Amino acid sequence: MLLNRVQTQLLALKEQRLQRFRRTVDQADGVQMVVDGHPMLAFCSNDYLGLANDAGLAQALCEGVQRYGVGAGASHLISGHSRAHALLEAQLATLLSANIPSAQALFFSTGYMANLGLLGGLAILAPDTEIFSEALNHASLIDGMRMARTRVRVFPHRDMASLEQLLAASTSSNKVVVTDSVFSMDGSVADVPALLDLCRRYEAWLVVDDAHGFGVLGASGLGVLEHFGLHDERLLYMGTLGKAAGVSGAFVCAHEDVVSWLVQRSRPYIYTTAAAPALAHALLRSLALIVEQEGQQRRAQLKQNISHLQQSLLQRHWRLMPSETAIQPLLVGDNGQALALSARLFEQGLWVPAIRPPTVPDGTARLRIALSAAHTPAQISRLAEAINFLEAQMPRS
Ligand SMILES: *Cc1c(COP(=O)(O)O)cnc(C)c1O
């Protein structure tokens, strides 16, 4: 009886062709993977700098295990807060101190939890907290707002005038504007300076989720705040460490008082076992790579790869969306055609996902190409040629 209900729901998903599948990666060496036994060239990972398979980072992780063991054994407020976690937080705060006055950082196990923890912690500062959320925000931010059980206003994508109207009309004593820095299905960068300007005028916090920017944007790879040269105590910055940084985890960086408050009250920070200290130890090495010459070279390579792709695609009727970041979506339009394109590429050993509604608006199904510094020019050419060939073959939808 109970299982019947699950089976009916699963069948419904199957019939609507909305069922999701996981592919099993047997081996990965940068962008080259063995997937369910087949060699594949991947254009779908968030490992933008190619650090996830870096030998130095692997060694740092082993070193961390030798020093701290494999598990933290407890939550941060009990006995799980290791020297490695403390050093990582101190280093992150130092790096972001040019953007956030009296900066302190708080390490979370994942970006999903960091967003829940940050929004939840902010919401309980006042009973009348009101959150203003950009329409294309990531699911983890949306879940964070839901969990915070506070009033949420959604403003249309990039619409500063609408946001200003909402802020002007609000009587809340604790206003929080929330945005992604790089929109993950478009690759475009939010106008964070304009958002910050509004937040200054209407006395609001600005939460910036820089999951796709940290490590990539800015001269030293410190992310979107460095990219735009912003500095303000109302900035609440969330960066992830499982994408460009190549490991896992995330952090919130904010004024030290905000971080102290989160340590007191953020339930997703408090009531969970601390991430393995060895991960934090490896992340220290990753941070060094990101800001040093190594990181600069990798960012330069990524930039070259982006322009190489842009120059190689013919774009007869499928268009690259305007993006300067590693996320280069090719707008196909029709759902079936986007799926067919992705499937044909997969048969040729090229792994690029199709993204369909409801993840993106109706009629804007796309191929989401994610580039990395680890791609070689020959690999980018191979992808471009395959797409150009299929574009000529497949009828315009
Ligand atoms: C990936 C991502 C997250 C979640 O980070 P994890 O560390 O993977 O949990 C949050 N926000 C955005 C915009 C993301 O792309």
Q: What is the CATH number of the domain that holds 218?
A: 3.40.640.10
Separation of alpha carbons 41 and 274, rounded Å:
34
209 lines ligand 1 (CB under 6 A): yes
Range of the domain at 228: 55-291
Active site residue 212: yes
Token pair 């050419």 in the structure block, residue:
381
Q: Is the full-model pTM beyond 0.95?
A: yes
Same domain, 85 and 202: yes
Residues 255 and 103 sit within 8 Å (Cβ to Cβ)? yes
Binding-site residues for pyridoxal 5'-phosphate sit at 111-112, 184, 212, 240
From 227, 257, 291, the end of a domain falls on 291
Same domain, 87 and 143: yes
Does 118 fall in a domain?
A: yes
Separation of alpha carbons 129 and 122, rounded Å:
8
Does 16 fall in a domain?
A: no
Same domain, 265 and 302: no
From 266, 291, 316, the end of a domain falls on 291
Does 72 fall in a domain?
A: yes
Does 97 fall in a domain?
A: yes
Distance 8 CA to ligand 1 centre (A): 31
Write down the pLDDT at residue 196.
98
Mutation probe of ligand 1 site: the residue of 140, 210, 224, 355 with most atoms within 8 A of C-beta:
140
172 lines ligand 1 (CB under 6 A): no
Same domain, 178 and 298: no
Same domain, 79 and 123: yes
Catalytic residue among 76, 85, 243, 308: 243
323 lines ligand 1 (CB under 6 A): no
For residue 352, the cross-strand partners are: none
192 lines ligand 1 (CB under 6 A): no
Encoded tokens for 371: 């580039």
Q: Euclidean distance between the first and final Cα of the chain, in Å?
A: 44
Mutation probe of ligand 1 site: the residue of 119, 182, 209 with most atoms within 8 A of C-beta:
209
Instruction: Give nearest CA residue, ligand 1 atom 3.
Output: 111
Give the number of the atom of ligand 1 that is nearest the alpha carbon of residue 240.
Answer: 7
Residues 383 and 350 sit within 8 Å (Cβ to Cβ)? yes
Query: What domain count does the chain have?
Result: 2
234 lines ligand 1 (CB under 6 A): no
Write down the pLDDT at residue 372.
98
Separation of alpha carbons 375 and 360, rounded Å:
26
Binding-site residues sit at 20, 111-112, 138, 184, 212, 240, 359
Distance 211 CA to ligand 1 centre (A): 5
pLDDT 10s digit of each residue in the chain, 397 long?
899 999 999 999 888 877 888 999 999 999 999 999 999 999 999 999 999 999 999 999 999 999 999 999 999 999 999 999 999 999 999 999 999 999 999 999 999 999 999 999 999 999 999 999 999 999 999 999 999 999 999 999 999 999 999 999 999 999 999 999 999 999 999 999 999 999 999 999 999 999 999 999 999 999 999 999 999 999 999 999 999 999 999 999 999 999 999 999 999 999 999 999 999 999 999 999 999 999 999 999 999 999 999 999 999 999 999 999 999 999 999 999 999 999 999 999 999 999 998 889 999 999 999 999 999 999 999 999 999 999 999 877 6
Q: Which stretch of DSSP H or E encloses residue 256? A: helix 256-265
Same domain, 28 and 90: no
Does 14 fall in a domain?
A: no
Please give the full DSSP string across 175-224, using - where no structure is assigned.
Answer: EEEEEESB-TTT-PBP-HHHHHHHHHHTTEEEEEE-TTTTTTSSTTS--H
Same domain, 191 and 234: yes
Same domain, 279 and 305: no
Separation of alpha carbons 332 and 341, rounded Å:
9
Same domain, 312 and 254: no
Write down the pLDDT at residue 397.
62
Give the number of the atom of ligand 1 that is nearest the alpha carbon of residue 137.
Answer: 13
Query: 130-189 pLDDT, tens per residue?
Result: 999 999 999 999 999 999 999 999 999 999 999 999 999 999 999 999 999 999 999 999
Instruction: Give nearest CA residue, ligand 1 atom 4.
Output: 111
Does 160 fall in a domain?
A: yes
Instruction: Give nearest CA residue, ligand 1 atom 7.
Output: 111
Same domain, 124 and 43: no
Q: Which stretch of DSSP H or E encloses residue 66? A: helix 55-68
Separation of alpha carbons 290 and 294, rounded Å:
7
Does 4 fall in a domain?
A: no
212 lines ligand 1 (CB under 6 A): yes
Does 5 fall in a domain?
A: no
Separation of alpha carbons 325 and 372, rounded Å:
10
Same domain, 134 and 247: yes
CATH number at residue 314: 3.90.1150.10
Active site residue 175: no
Phi-psi region of 42 (alpha: psi -120 to 50; beta: other; left: phi over 0): beta
Same domain, 94 and 114: yes
Instruction: Give nearest CA residue, ligand 1 atom 2.
Output: 211
140 lines ligand 1 (CB under 6 A): yes
Give the number of the atom of ligand 1 that is nearest the alpha carbon of residue 181.
Answer: 13
Residue 381: how many other CB atoms lie within 10 Å: 13
